Amino acid sequence: MLGPRERGYLRAGYHADVVVIDPERFAPRADYVRPRRLSAGVEHALINGTRAIAAGRLTGAASARALRHRPPAVACPIEPEPGAPEP
């Protein structure tokens, strides 16, 4: 597997996100006015092994981490803005 190590599998010591939804009730509810509103039918969410949503409610836990990664130029060409210096 390419990319960050310790990701991509549900194994002890690895980082993973798991979301449990009720497909019968799932419906997005966020909009431009309320972008943080939770979707209906999301029962549980574990972020890096920590419960972020339990019984449909936020727990207040914040265990997510930003992944720093710049894809190779071949995979995702980024066009510089006109007049911007080359990286």
Predicted confidence (pLDDT) per residue in 56-78, tens digit: 888 988 777 676 767 666 666 56
Predicted confidence (pLDDT) per residue in 5-53, tens digit: 777 778 888 878 889 999 999 999 999 999 989 999 999 998 888 899 9
Supply the range of the domain harboring residue 9.
1-87
Contact residues for 18 (Cβ-Cβ < 8 A; gap 6+): 10, 44, 45, 46
Domain count for the chain, please give it: 1
Does this model's pTM top 0.85? My answer is no
